[in-house]
Amino acid sequence: MWKCAICSGEFNAIPDDAVRLTHTTARTNVYRFPDGAIHALRKIRNPRSESIPPPLESPKEATELLQSVVKALAELLQPETKSEPEIEIEDDGESLTPMALAFRRRKEIQN
Ligand SMILES: [Zn+2]
């Protein structure tokens, strides 16, 4: 079994017509296949155990990835949509404590 470092393709065998382009002692060697495709092939022992693709992201990781993508997109879009700074329109200057707020709310109910 051979695995290509370029296209990640896996091949049971290198075709007899393939031309070996590199002659290094490295484990990966470049071959030109009969169809003209260039593959950097590395011999792998058992695709089940050695070159098995990493498991799909766990749901948590997938969620975090999605969130980071959404966040990045939001940050990308922000300059377009952010036309005015955040202004608290209802803020009339007085700082209201929770007690004052409760009092005001109670007053409104009574009215
Ligand atoms: Zn390839």
Instruction: Compute the distance from residue 56 Cα to the ligand 1 centre, in Å.
Output: 22
pLDDT value, residue 7: 96
Instruction: Compute the distance from residue 4 Cα to the ligand 1 centre, in Å.
Output: 5
pLDDT tens per residue, range 92-109: 556 668 777 787 777 777
- b/e map of 65-79 (b: 16 or more CB within 10 Å)? eeeeeeeeeeeeeee
Instruction: Compute the distance from residue 57 Cα to the ligand 1 centre, in Å.
Output: 25
pLDDT value, residue 104: 78
Tracing tokens 């002692």 back to the chain, one arrives at: 25
pLDDT value, residue 87: 63
pLDDT tens per residue, range 24-76: 788 888 999 999 999 999 998 865 655 556 666 577 777 777 777 787 778 77
Instruction: Compute the distance from residue 6 Cα to the ligand 1 centre, in Å.
Output: 5
Tracing tokens 């393709």 back to the chain, one arrives at: 9
Q: Is the pLDDT of residue 80 over 60?
A: no
Instruction: Compute the distance from residue 69 Cα to the ligand 1 centre, in Å.
Output: 30
